Structure 1
């Protein structure tokens, strides 16, 4: 977790610094932090590593662990990024948006 935490902190700081450097030019900078995502690549790797039944069980457990009831997919991430790039988010800069179905909030600590 040390490497992940260090990288995440670095990206948050980079986002804030970049946002402040370009805000007067009308450029906003935000960070999308994604949680557990279910993709075809993840599915393929799990099938190869675990076999069909074990992979299906693990995927079901991962879905159940997310408070919203499912892992995210590429569309969830894309919609968040598109929102931040849109005029609806014109007053949002120098921050991060966690797209994880509530998983971060559900974890203790």
Structure 2
């Protein structure tokens, strides 16, 4: 896990700030100040790749629908297989009617 590599005061401060966001508008404004458009788009793309993987879409379909490279799709897939299970956890909260992918972390 990479968590230990990023833990520290600065990261704690950032994450605590994110947890304080009150609504979607505030979230947009915060991330607009914090990140470049490209950084936000990249994060959003990864999350959509995760969603499509969870729906058992093929790499080719995901590439066409998101514009993500196969390297990005593979990285997100590795996170599903060997990560902390939070892609599946968050997607389960957003889309409770969808079934998780096999072998996902609970």
For this structure pair, what is the TM-score category when the shorter chain's length is used for normalisation? under 0.3
Q: TM-score, normalized by length of structure 2?
A: 0.23
**Structure with larger RCO (C-alpha < 8 A, sep 6+):** 1
Greater gyration radius: 1
Q: TM-score, normalized by length of structure 1?
A: 0.23
Decide which structure has greater helix share: 2
Decide which structure has greater strand share: 1
